Structure 1
Amino acid sequence: MAPAVHRLAIVGGGPRATYAVERLSAEIARLGRDRRLEVRIYERSGEFGSGEAHSPTQPRTSYLNRISSQVSFAADESVRDAGPLRPAPQRPTLHAWCRRRFAETGDADLDLAPGDWPKRYVHGLALQDMFGTFVRELRAHPGVSVHLHHTEVVDIAPHADGLTVRTADGGAFPADQVLLVTGHTHHDPWRAAGTRGLADFADRAGCAYVPYAYPLDRALPPRITGPGRVVGIAGMGLTAIDEILHLTEGRGGTFVPGPDGGLRYEPSGAEPAKLLAFSETGVFTFARPDNHKDADPERLEHRGVFLTGEAVDRLRASVGTPRGDGGPGQLDFERDVLPLVVLEMAWLHYATLFGPQAAAFLRDRAGATYQAFLVGGAPYGDRPGDPTRLLGPLEAAVDEITDALEALLDGHDRPPTGTGTGTEARTSGWSAEEAMLRWIEVVFGTEPCALARKAWRQGPDALRRAVSSWTSPWCLDERPAGNRFDWQRTTRPLDATGLDTPERYREAVLAFMDRDLRWAEQGNLDNPHKAAADGVWRDLRSVISRAVDDGGLTPASHRVFLARYVRLHNRLANGAAPEVMERIRALVRHGLLDIGTGPGAQLHPDEATSRFRVDGPATAASCQVDTLADARVHPFAPHRDASPLFRNLLDHGLARLWRNVSATGDVFEPGGLDLTPRFHPLRPDGTPDPRLTILGPPAEGQKSFLLSALRPTADHYVMRDTVTWLTDFWHLLETPRPEATRTHCLQSDRAGARSSIL
């Protein structure tokens, strides 16, 4: 009797497919002799392992926004219940992979240090190489066959024996289980109300509208973005930066050292006449700081002091409102969670600036108000709409520290809040010496700190003389009372007052970018501003997710979170590498890149000129553009998606949309699918379909922060999700089933053979 065949379809051949095949190949010895496994992997771009978004064919001007040592391809010891691990040399980080390939090829793009930011195509090369390795391992098993299909899956339909996977080229393949890892998809502009009018106007007027940027070379050809064309770029995040560099450096322009130590742009003549970048905020995403935590992530990554999972749970119990499904109480993000985010950022800002003893002092001073807040106490009645309302005791304690340090630098023998005199001063719970030396190290650098340590022993006059002779290389305030945490400045770094012309606004943006790049160069452990953003919005992202995910917020608050705070997260903590932002700054200085429409820019189809028009209400700027390129990331929404796959899943009753419902009947549908905790879709009647597993962006709304490459030594959620899928895969494969479900469909196999490329 022939062994029973179990058929697995993996829809999407990008990074998550690479991780899935890695785990499957590592455990394939579990496949019994009475079983055969047939694996079919579908990738519409044909870029197996990387997918289109990470393709090695991407322009060399696009960079990852994560350093090379923080990207990996396989499970490691940190991943709970991962199962068998491959030997360490067979699971390199991206940095280790690049070092091997550099030794073989001498390619300068592969000559990376652990803290370097790799070009995105390099990540694609590594993904495809690792994917190929894992597939070869699977194929080496006598009971396994692997077929790679260069085609798009357009439908998955149920039938009596399981599921049928249908492809755009007419193929139909039986499957017992399907893993959907399609990654980020894009909208069909004709299916979305917000873009339908833009697409219609472009068709009628003869101008160009580009609703999706990738692949850049095909989406933005010279025909519509070449010399003489004005290109408007809607958005100022990572996609916009990719577009800008592709249309400048990618067209032969070069960046050379400028007289001020920065970069200067030299055009090639093949660029557009002008690039106009605009957005609601009017500023680009902030530069990612140099990642100094990579030396020892377990010790150096921030652990919450106020913003913790326990705090979220206590708030849910004390002030949460009833939800429609009877689960734990729902929170309001701005009322309940944001004050903890702001408090944590402020505390980490000052802990970075003044050192660990001062940090403990500040934590204790803020403790009473914080504890009262967690049980719905007085702070709720005190400015309930103010996200800074928990900062009073903390800022008062900071005043004590800065008063003491200012007193030392101003020549007072005794700090106003301390005991002891002069440089021997020690206040209640913190050391003036430690705080002063840490402040000097942060503001002026390690060498001045070493000199200050000697001057401290010589007396106050020597210390004052030393400090008065230094300037901050990081553009930080040079007095202890400066460098205060400011939530409003964090969220809106430019004061619009007086920035009422494009020229004034441009100069203000350049000044901010100069300062932001200095802060990024100082790194995420020593710059207080970058430490606060990185430590809270990146290191504590899982705590924010705990508050938000699975209906953790009221429907109304959930709408606000997705519209406002996901964007804030991206701007504060998910920006581009400093060397990338140096290039953007150089383009603004050159004048080729125009950001003069400022905040609140408004886009209009201009019937009179047959072009798009962008108006800046804050700066009185108005600019006509020939080509409009949308650089905004669209949330997952099957009814607006360019692919029919998920619409068909809904139509077949294999899935339903997730809904956030309050007990009062308020409903919010963000667009994602309703999945079980093990990522199986729920049918309209609420029952799960264990044959289907869906990972990544299709769960948007129900889950948050889903787009991420695998990180090593971090028990990373991307690999934990993959392990969850594989556990259920083996369970279903090993569960006895009727013989009919194992029938081999020879006709379907033959029908689909034409789309199998390997």
Structure 2
Amino acid sequence: MRSNRLAIVGAGPSCTYVLDRLAATARAAAGPLSLDVHIFDRGGQFGAGQVHSPDQPVTSFLNRIVGQVAFAADESVEGAGPLLPKEDRPTLLEWCRLRYEETGDPVFDVAAEHWPKRYVHGLALRDQFQRYVRMLREVPGVNVHLHQAEVTDLEDLEDGRLAVLTGDGERVVDADHVLMLTGHSSNDPARYPSQAEWRRFADEHRAVFVPSAYPLEAAFGPGEAGPGTKVGCVGMGLTGIDVILHLSEGRGGTFDEQPDGSLVYRPSGLEPDSVVMFSRAGLFTFARPYNAKERDPRRLEHRGVFLTEEAVRSLRLSAGTPATVGRRSQRQLDFRAHVFPVIVLEMAYLYYRTLLGEDFGARLVRAVLPEYEAFLADGGRGQASDVSVRRLLAPVEALVDEAAEVVDGVLAGGRPLAGTGGLGWDAEAAVLRFLDVVFGPEQASALTGLLDDPEAFAAAVRAARSPWRHAKDVAGQRFSWERSIRPVDRHSFTTPEEYRDALLDFLDVDHRWAAQDNLTNPAKTAADGVWRDLRDVLATAVDFGGLHAASHRDFLDVFMRHHNRLCNGAALEVMEKIRALIRHGLVDVSAGPGADVVTDAATGRFVVRGTATGAVLPVDLLVDSRVHPFDAENDVLPVYPNLLRRGIVRKWSNPGAGVPDFAPGGLDLTEDFHPVRADGEVDRRITLLGPPSEGVMFFQLGALRPNQNHHVMQDILCWMRGFWKQDAAAADPGGSLITTGV
């Protein structure tokens, strides 16, 4: 029997998950196996990959709580097949507890709701990878080969296999199947006008340009970004935050906790003079809320009421524009006009249900339903997005007007609670819920005891303080999409100092709201429940040309930024450090929104200009601290440009109707992740998971979650089913794995 040769390119987290499934399946196989697995990793970081390397700076945090990380399929995964024994598939939480028992190292002493260091995740990934490799090697007929080498190309062979070529041109293995798990990369700055100009300027002057912040340990050369220098960071997201902590805490600075829980930064003297942070919005990603859903995710994670897959299908029928995308017929939507109004409605519903209780939420659904169903049926009648948003929110606003009159009347002592019946919603329950949200259980209980005395109750409400800085009336807590994404009023500042103060004030509020949690704080509940819990619905709207070309560009350029800021931020612990660094003065946020970069040949420095604040901030070193989108043609590593050149893969493009086509940079893939070649044929010998699918699909990244039937594992199972089916075809040299069906 001819050996089936599998080449896996990239040995990061996804490879670890794949090895779990291979090990479990191989151990349970009924008949003999003849399988050679060749795993390639450019940096030799087997199991963790570069992003989660155990050797990275200890200042970086994983953007997922400990209780939400797994390394193997579990009982929740539909169609998983055989599972490994439970002791061989610990979650990250279980792995950390075992490691803490063995070592006593406090870094492993974590609870489910804690945010782990990213290198700890890397240690666990490496450990599990090694465990799965040992298991596979124990199965008769299975061989596993680890190659610390960069795969640079694949070459078609006459026998139907693919030659796997490494950086030195060596033909390492002729593979029957290649699984590409290359993860994050970066793009060649020479291919992008602004980055190319920055690099040219740096080459000709004393300034330094860092085109990609990762890996952090290699981003800055000896003597760079130290005392006497100023660093500018393009981007205020998670990567920018990693850079800040690397240049402060990573340089030996410390944080002292104050009696009120805030932090004060104590510099080491090895930091740069300042780190200038700027972006289009002038905002950091918002703090991730304490995850109260973790105690029972299946029950507590939000299921859409208005934003559902059925709603997307209805909008396609009523408003979709017929198009052919590749070989697929699609009725394309305009995200801003058709989907976004329903998103805002879902957020408003969650916001007010959280603020005023379940009964009020149920009444809101009944009030909105006729207009919502009409919107699905007419697709918005071709009206602008803001018109449709107002249309869907009109019944919400009317009901909230009523709630404001009733609840605020009770809070002010002018309306007895006993006279609030006959409304169609339980006013007493709404008042009690409002008190609980605004003041917390302890204060709310004391206030509730005064409800029979309206005057004393109103006086107590006026005197009470909201720990989360909530307004103390319904009228002061109206939901607003604009305030959600632009929380710093553009009219509240005119100088750099005023913007710094305004941003610090918002960060204080945001910190308090995140600490309140994602089931009790209205704003955090709305953002988390829609943009995180309902990602699958968003994927239904976007994937495989679900949006027309111009709208798809708009979605990635505008709405993905909102998504990342609203629900993909850093942990409270991290953001408290950022606040301390701003207060200390090491981090400079005074450029404000809309800042840009110019070059100053006279001084040889970059200059960050605050168009809204008037700030002028020269910097010696400029870091592109944004995660680069996958771009096969412009990737800094050679494998994808080479595959494009050979025609083994092609870029996916969303065809424009009267406007230019939109090619986000990802590859043209089938639903089961096989590439469409330049000639239009599907190559089932190759499977690509992760970033190469970004563009044709939405949000394919993420760590595996336990007890969730997680999409990351389902994608791997999709590959697994095809791989084992192809085992027989691989044994037959005459079998073809290139087909014409998409």
Structure 2 length as normaliser, TM-score?
0.96
Aligned to 1:443: 438
* Pair 1:620–1:662, CA change in 2 (3 A): closer
Map 1:236-635 → 2, pairs under 5 A: 236-258=236-258, 260-325=260-325, 327-376=329-378, 380-381=382-383, 387-413=389-415, 422-423=417-418, 425-456=420-451, 458-461=452-455, 463-635=457-629
2:147 paired residue among 112, 127, 149: 149
Q: Could you tell me how far apart the structure 1 residues matched to 2:34 and 2:16 are?
A: 21
Q: Using the TM superposition, give the Cα deviation of residue 261 of structure 1 relative to its aligned residue in structure 2, in angstroms.
A: 3.5
Which has the larger displacement, 33-42 or 688-697?
33-42
Amino acid paired to 1:179: L
The Cα offsets for residues 699-718 of structure 1, whole Å up to 9 and x where unpaired, read as 11101112200011111111
Report if aligned partners of 1:192, 1:640 keep a CA contact under 8 Å in 2.
Answer: no
Contact 1:357 1:429 (C-alpha < 8 Å) held by counterparts: no
CA contact (8 A) 2:2 2:731 kept: no
Change (3 A) 1:496 1:666: same
**1:109 equivalent among 93, 107, 110:** 107
Identify which range, 401-410 or 541-550, moves more after superposition: 401-410
Query: Gapped runs of 5+ residues in structure 1?
Result: 415-421, 743-758
Q: 2:65 aligns with which of 53, 63, 67?
A: 67
How far did residue 493 of structure 1 move?
Answer: 0.9
CA drift of 1:89 comes to 2.8
| Aligned ranges 1:74-223 → 2 under 5 Å | 74-161=72-159, 162-172=161-171, 173-223=173-223
Contiguous gaps of at least 5 residues in structure 2: 737-742
Letter aligned with residue 475 of structure 1: R
Amino acid paired to 1:438? R
Partners in 2 of 1:663 and 1:233 — Cα distance? Answer: 38
Change in Cα spacing, 1:544 to 1:111, as seen in structure 2 (3 Å) is: same
Q: What is the identity, as a one-letter code, of the residue corresponding to 2:421?
A: R
Q: Check conservation: 1:67, 1:116, Cα contact below 8 A.
A: yes
> Is the deviation greater in 17-26 or in 368-377?
368-377
Displacement of 1:221: 3.5
Opposite residue 548 of structure 2, the aligned amino acid is T
CA contact (8 A) 1:334 1:387 kept: no
Identify if the C-alpha distance between structure 1 residues 197 and 378 changes in structure 2 by more than 3 Å, giving closer, same or farther: closer
In structure 2, C-alpha distance between the alignment counterparts of 1:599 and 1:275, rounded to whole Å: 16
1:482-503 Cα distance to aligned partner (Å, 9 max, x none): 2111111111111121411110
What amino acid maps onto 1:526 in structure 2? Answer: T
Q: Equivalent residue of 2:179, what SS?
A: strand
Q: RMSD across aligned C-alpha pairs, in angstroms?
A: 1.8
CA contact (8 A) 2:656 2:662 kept: no
Structure 1 distance, partners of 2:610, 2:103, is: 49
**CA offsets, 1:102-126, max 9 Å, x none?**
0110111110011000010010000
Q: For 1:618, give the aligned amino acid.
A: A
The alpha-carbon distance between structure 1 residues 377 and 735, as it changes in their structure 2 partners (threshold 3 A), is closer
One-letter amino acid of the structure 1 residue matched with residue 44 of structure 2: G
State the shift of 1:448 in Å. Answer: 2.2
Q: Secondary structure at the match of 2:699?
A: coil
Per the TM alignment, residue 32 of structure 1 is displaced from its structure 2 partner at its CA by: 6.5
**1:414-470 CA distance string (max 9 Å, x none):** 6xxxxxxx33633432111110010000000011233344434x4534543443332
- Between 50-59 and 28-37, report the one with greater CA deviation: 28-37
Deviations for 1:597-624, whole angstroms, at most 9, x for unmatched residues? Answer: 1100111122121111111111111111
For the residue of structure 1 that corresponds to 2:276, the secondary structure is strand
The 1:300/1:669 distance shift into structure 2, 3 A limit, reads same
Deviations 1:146-185 (A, max 9, x none): 1111111100111112100011133312111000000011
Which runs of structure 2 are paired with 1:36-55 in the superposition (5 Å)?
36-55=34-53
Q: Secondary structure at the match of 1:314?
A: helix
TM-score, length of structure 1 as denominator length: 0.94
Structure 1 stretch displaced more, 219-228 or 702-711: 219-228
Contact 1:4–1:34 under 8 Å retained in 2: no
Relative to structure 1, is the Cα distance of residues 229 and 558 closer, same or farther in structure 2, using a 3 angstrom cutoff? same
Aligned residue pairs, count: 732
Question: What displacement does 1:212 show?
Answer: 1.1
Deviation at 1:96, TM superposition (A): 1.1
Q: Distance in 2 between matches of 1:75 and 1:273?
A: 48
Cα offsets for 1:564-600 (capped at 9, x unmatched): 1111111000000011000001000011110111100
Greater Cα offset, 41-50 or 199-208: 199-208
- Alpha-carbon separation, structure 2, partners of 1:568 and 1:558: 15
Instruction: Output the amino acid matched with 1:439.
Output: F
How many percent identity over aligned positions?
Answer: 51
Residue identity in the other structure for 1:448: Q
* 491-500 vs 242-251, greater mean Cα deviation: 491-500
In structure 2, C-alpha distance between the alignment counterparts of 1:268 and 1:377, rounded to whole Å: 59
Instruction: For residue 386 of structure 1, report the CA deviation from its aligned partner.
Output: 6.1
Task: Quote the residue 1:419 is aligned against.
Answer: none
Change (3 A) 1:385 1:96: same
What does residue 748 of structure 1 align with? none
Deviation at 1:377, TM superposition (A): 6.1
